[in-house]
Amino acid sequence: MAKGYWVSVYPTIADPERLDVYNELAGSAVKAAGGRVLASVGSRVVAHEAGIAERVVLIEFDSFEQAVAAYESTAYQEALAALPDGFKRDFRITEGLG
């Protein structure tokens, strides 16, 4: 079964400290859903082409279906509701190759 991944890129974060509540809630939701953070704040980034060297978050799940279910979970939806204004995020759920 192919793994599932959340990929988030934050090209604009006006005030990173305001993400603390979201980060706490999202971290708990991801852990409860069986997700593993592979890259996050503090990871080194080299951006090419249209990329911007900003915060990138990569989370792995045992399956694509598990990744989708984690996003749709009540716990993660509560985290999304806590996101503050003043930032932009590019978020995807993708299936691994193997």
Domain count for the chain: 1
Give the residue numbers spanning the domain of 19: 4-95
Task: Report the pLDDT value the prediction gives residue 53, as an integer from 0 to 100.
Answer: 80
Mean pLDDT of 74-94: 90
Say whether pLDDT at 55 is over 90. Answer: no
Encoding tokens for residue 2?
């192919």
Task: With a cut of 90, say whether residue 42 has pLDDT above it.
Answer: no
Name the pLDDT band for 93 (thresholds 50, 70, 90): very high
CATH number of residue 78's parent domain: 3.30.70.100
CA distance 27 to 60: 13
- pLDDT value for 39: 93
pLDDT value at residue 65:
98
Query: Whole-angstrom Cα distance, residue 40 to residue 98?
Result: 23
- Dihedral of CA atoms 6, 9, 13, 17 in degrees, nearest 10, equals 40
Q: Average per-residue pLDDT in the chain?
A: 90
Predicted local confidence at residue 87, as pLDDT: 76
pLDDT of 50 above 90 = no
Task: Indicate if the pLDDT at residue 88 is higher than 90.
Answer: no
What's the predicted TM-score (pTM) here?
Answer: 0.88
